[in-house]
Amino acid sequence: MKVVVTGAAGMIGSNIVHGLNAIGIDDVIAVDDLTDGPKYRNLLNARISDYFDKTEFYTRFARGDFGHVDAVLHQGACSDTMEHNGRYMLDTNYRCSKDLLDACQAQGTRLLYASSAATYGASDAFREDPAFEHPLNVYGYSKLLFDNVVRRMLPTAQSGKSAQVAGFRYFNVYGPREQHKGRMASVAFHNFNQFRDTGKVKLFGAYGGYAQGDQMRDFISVDDVVAVNLWFLQHPDQSGLFNLGTGRAQPFNDVAVAVVNASRALKGEAPLPLTELVKQGLVEYFDFPEALVGKYQCYTQADMSGLAAAGCEHRFADVATGVARYVEWMGRQKA
């Protein structure tokens, strides 16, 4: 099987490459922009058949330069929710994806792609339905715009008259190989580094009707994201637009507790409940930032019924399990 992974040096893309290798697929064409050179580390020990810069790949793929490609796992995008340049965002996330979709359909190549829970924005429900899609920023809009293109052609894909197309609305993903993301890295990543460097984790105080640290998100391990992508790769008859979270909202306090206790375990120290962590100053709270007032999702929880209906019965890790595994991984990395 010949597979392309775009955004291959990024967090999710690189984990997908390693996941493909784990199931015996190593004819992998990796596509990315390595202007940020240290990202190459995410692909260390990965088996790939070729690498292309994104400025070269899309034109050559549309020309058919790579022969028959079975599937493209399209993770490449600008994922900075604070990027306000709409022209850049739409060119990168929408137009590039639309041209790739057209080329895939013309060549009979399957397309599995990354969408985002940012398409829901201010909604209080998270189901793959236009009634609940109210993006708060141009990033979310760029993802929604492409999702809507896919929706229009899904009947032909679902009937088997065209190649598989499946989009995944990622919720709050955490896990290995995200160190290059800076402020866009996961809460678990930042909590780990805070605790390592200062001996404490800091969380938002009360806001939006939620007590301190009790704002809730659907946190999903990148290992689970990879597993679902690979399930669809192995089930080419399944097309659609799917939420990819755990279906379980958990408070930021849970992430902090998991990070601190897993970090303590690395030093042979016993776990402590949240009340004791706060009492000892290992978890602290600060006033909710004024700049985020009115622009912040206090609660997300993926409706996973669509994925279940497709027949994907993957069991997702909860925060305690997934974050502990991630902290163990970070603890093994060299500075």
What are the catalytic residues? 139, 181
Contacts of 159 (CB under 8 A, 6+ apart): none
Which stretches of 90-181 are DSSP H helices? 96-107, 138-158
Strand partners, 286: 204
Cα–Cα distances in angstroms (integers) from residue 252 to residues 17, 43, 174, 319, in the given order = 29, 30, 13, 10
Q: What share of the chain is helix, strand, coil (3-state, %, to 5)?
A: 45, 20, 35
* DSSP string for 112-123: EEEEEGGGTBT-
CB 186 within 8 A of CB 173: yes
Tokens of 309: 């209906």
Separation CA 262–CA 101 (nearest Å): 42
Separation CA 126–CA 148 (nearest Å): 16
CB 114 within 8 A of CB 153: no
Query: What beta strand segments (E) does 191-319 contain?
Result: 201-204, 216-217, 219-221, 240-244, 250-251, 283-286
Residue with tokens 């955490």: 174
Separation CA 255–CA 258 (nearest Å): 5
